[in-house]
Every structure is written in structure tokens, then in C-alpha cells.
Amino acid sequence: MKIAVCVKQVLARECSLRLDNTRAWVQDRDASFEMNEPDAYALEEALCLKERYGGEVVVCSAGPARVSQVIREALARGGDRAIHVEGNHLATADSHMVAGALAAAIRDEEFDLVLTGLQSSDQGFAQTGVVLAESLGIPHATIIMEIQVADRWLRVKRELEGGWFQWVSMPLPALLTIQSGINQLRYATLRGIMAAKKKKVSVVRPPSDLVPRQEILKLYIPEKKKQAQLIGGTPPEAAAELVRVLRDQARVI
């Protein structure tokens, strides 16, 4: 089975965020980066499928040169080779541009299965995988918690709301967006880190005709403020008013 795994480099969760001069993105000059968590679970699932059914795992990522950090990490964990769609503008691109760049890079590879994380921890659109599937012209399923393969068919378990799940059957090739917690993550060994240095990373340029569909106009740090509200009346009246405030204003119940 030939599997592509799309991973994204995001700001580390413990990183202190500061806005850049444009006020439309965060300053990443002195920031630390890591692999997007849902993408790490997608990578682990691809490696498990390879161990079970054989084949090849190809790591795919779009972004500036610094993205090579997470590419090498993915290769150290067990990926066989990688494709890096390099472009500085892809660091803050919307789902349409990222999916278009990835689709152009992997379309001729004819992968049996493409895995992505459910969403990224920075923008959180949860759309890149879906748009990528449409660009490649293959079926897709989202929020996947389990994967079963039989012949040229998949049977996947989707997580729904309220503790419900849904089983879906679909033919290969296909694309799945993976939910965090689907498996137990492995870490790169010293042997894997050394081997990753010799694995092939193909660097390609994105198509020049890609245009964004969304634009971030402004980011701001949420303001901290304190507020007190006194509720009077009889105990039954105060209790009823408190419930109304918590439900309609604070929206905590």
C-alpha cells in the first residue's frame, strides 16, 4: 500500500505568541516549532498500516524551508521518503492554497491512501484534507478513529457528536482525516534519526496560479477585564435570574 501523509509545521504550544508588524499573523522569527498534533497521529496510523499490509509511507508538507524540521522528524519516526512543497507564502496560506500545492505535488504519485490530521492547531480550518480530496478527485471521510483494509476497500470508523460513531465503507484510492487519539504515538529513535539523514526529500515549487480564497485581516490579543453583576430579589427570583444570566449571557449552561 502506497500511503501519503500530509504534515504541517506549527508554532509550539508553549511558545509565547507576539503579533508581527502586519498585525495579521504572529511573529515567528524567534519562535519554536513542532509537528501539528493531529498530523502526528495520521503519521502513526500510516506507519501502522505499512507494518500491517506492507508498502511505502511518503511524508508531504507545504511551507518555507524551516518545514524540513518536521519532515526529518517524520522520516525519523519511520517515513520512507518525503515531498516538500517549498514556498514562504504557504506558511500562512489558507486551506485552498495549501491543498492546491499538495495536490499538484502528489497527483502523479497515484497514492492508494492519503492521510491528513483532522485540523491544524494554528488556523484550525479542518478543510485542507477535504479540499485536497476534491482536488485529487478521490472519495474522503473525516474524523477517523479506526481503519480496516480489505482488498481495494476501506472500512472506517468516524466519530460523531454525542458519543456516537459511524462506520463507512469506501473504495481505494481515498483520503482520510485522522482524529487525535486514534493510536499511541511512537517517538524517533537514535537509529531512526540517523537513518532519516539519508532518506530522500524531493523539494518542488507550488503552482504559480494558486490564489487564496480567504484572507486574515487582523489578529489581536484578547483583552482581560473583570466585571461583577449583583443579582437581587427574593431567593427564588435571584436563583431564576442567575440561571438566566449563566445560560444567555455567560453561556456556561
- The CATH T-level fold of domain 2-204 is Rossmann fold (3.40.50)
pLDDT in tens, 196-232: 999 999 999 999 999 888 888 888 877 777 778 888 8
Q: Identify the pLDDT of residue 14.
A: 80
Residue in the structure block whose three cell numbers are 522520516: 75
Q: List the one residue out of 237, 191, 219 whose CA is nearest residue 122.
A: 219
Q: How far apart (Å, rounded) are the C-alpha atoms in residues 115 and 4?
A: 6
**Mean pLDDT value across the chain:** 92
Cell of 234: 427574593
Q: How far apart (Å, rounded) are the C-alpha atoms in residues 139 and 128?
A: 14
pTM: 0.84
Q: How far apart (Å, rounded) are the C-alpha atoms in residues 134 and 175?
A: 10
Q: Identify the pLDDT of residue 218.
A: 86
Q: Side-chain half-sphere of 54: how many Cα atoms within 13 Å? A: 0
Q: List the one residue out of 48, 40, 47 whose CA is nearest residue 6.
A: 40
What are the domain boundaries of the chain? Answer: 2-204, 224-253
Q: Identify the pLDDT of residue 29.
A: 77
Enumerate residue ranges in the chain where pLDDT < 50: none
pLDDT in tens, 148-163: 999 899 999 999 988 8
Backbone angles phi, psi at 169, to 5 degrees: -105, 140
Query: Which amino acid is it at 106?
Result: I
Degrees (nearest 5) of the Cα angle 39, 210, 113? 35
Helix axes 37-53, 68-77, angle to 10 degrees: 30
